[in-house]
């Protein structure tokens, strides 16, 4: 068991520590902070895979080899843009799945209504009589089961986006988001390239400021 004297010594040493002092040590600490959660807190949505985001970040950092605070910041932007583009694919899939399940559930409910007849009771008034209890219940159970399949994370993500985008405009808004994120991605990549060329002593290319609209929408509808 650790002695009280040893514990006190460790406590005093910890208080003296001021963190990394060399530029290399500070850069490593900065990368560790990103690797261990700061970027995840900004980018991840509930239910998303933090380990997959960390793997993406490590892969891009190994490929792009940033140095210094500004280059690491630009790589953060590139990682976030890549992650959000991946999410948009899930959003699109979720929207389609929601509509697909809803169509199947409505078909099952329509089948159930074939076994319903409207009756009028002298005392209770209008009521529904089931002509085939077994088949009616089977169809309704199928409708409930299909709707329960919409509770998955991907479907919920798509439904949330569609509700925010006012339903019918969901895919148009999704396309705009994709275009905006791609612009952020390529802008950060270009700026990172400029910084790295300047650091190596090469001729720095001019800033890339051309903004091309690729939404396909008329100007008045953007």
Q: Give 130-174 as a DSSP string.
A: ES-HHHHHHHHHHHHHHHHGGGSHHHHHHHHHHHHTTGGGHHHHH
Phi, psi of 191 (to 5 degrees): -65, -35
Asked if residue 19 is part of any domain, the answer here is no
Confidence class for position 186, pLDDT limits 50, 70, 90 = very high
**Tokens 């990368």 label which residue?**
31
Confidence class for position 134, pLDDT limits 50, 70, 90 = very high
Asked if residue 60 is part of any domain, the answer here is yes
159 burial type by CB count under 10 A (0-12 exposed, 13-18 middle, 19+ buried): buried
First and final C-alpha spacing in the chain: 69
Asked if residue 3 is part of any domain, the answer here is no
Work out whether strand 125-130 and strand 116-121 pair parallel, antiparallel, or are unpaired.
antiparallel
- Pick the more confident residue, 96 or 2: 96
Q: Which range has the top average pLDDT, 31-45, 79-93, 122-136? A: 79-93
- Pick the more confident residue, 34 or 111: 111
What is the crossing angle of helices 153-164 and 68-113, to 10°? 90
Asked if residue 97 is part of any domain, the answer here is yes
What is the tally of structural domains in the chain? Answer: 1
- Across the range 103-120, mean pLDDT stands at 88
Asked if residue 18 is part of any domain, the answer here is no
For 178, the domain range is 28-221
Asked if residue 183 is part of any domain, the answer here is yes
Asked if residue 132 is part of any domain, the answer here is yes
Asked if residue 186 is part of any domain, the answer here is yes
Please state, rounded to an integer, the average pLDDT across all residues of the chain: 75
Q: What is the pLDDT of residue 66?
A: 93
CA 77 to CA 189: how far, in whole Å? Answer: 9
Q: What is the pLDDT of residues 18-64, one digit of tens each?
A: 444 555 554 444 444 334 344 555 788 877 888 999 999 999 999 99
Confidence class for position 173, pLDDT limits 50, 70, 90 = confident
Q: Are 184 and 77 in contact (CB under 8 A)?
A: yes
Helix (H, G, I), strand (E, B) or coil at 129: strand
């Amino acid at each position: 068991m650790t002695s009280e004297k040893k514990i006190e010594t460790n406590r005093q040493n910890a208080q003296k520590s001021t963190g990394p002092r060399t530029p290399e040590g500070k850069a490593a600490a900065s990368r560790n902070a990103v690797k261990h959660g700061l970027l995840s807190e900004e980018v991840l949505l509930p239910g998303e895979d933090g380990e997959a985001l960390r793997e993406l970040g490590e892969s891009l950092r190994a490929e792009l080899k940033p140095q210094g605070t500004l280059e690491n910041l630009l790589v953060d932007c590139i990682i976030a843009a890549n992650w959000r583009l991946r999410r948009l694919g899930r959003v699109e899939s979720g929207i389609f799945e929601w509509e697909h399940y809803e169509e199947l559930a409505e078909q099952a409910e329509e089948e159930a209504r074939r076994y319903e007849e409207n009756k009028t009771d002298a005392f209770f008034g209008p009521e529904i009589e089931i002509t085939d209890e077994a088949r009616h219940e089977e169809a309704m159970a199928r409708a409930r089961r299909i709707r329960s399949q919409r509770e998955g994370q991907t479907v919920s993500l798509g439904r949330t986006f569609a509700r925010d985008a006012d339903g019918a405009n969901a895919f148009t808004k999704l396309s705009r988001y994709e275009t905006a994120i791609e612009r952020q991605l390529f802008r950060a990549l270009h700026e990172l390239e400029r910084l790295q060329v300047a650091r190596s002593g090469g001729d720095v290319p001019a800033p890339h400021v051309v903004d091309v609209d690729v939404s396909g929408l008329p100007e008045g509808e953007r």
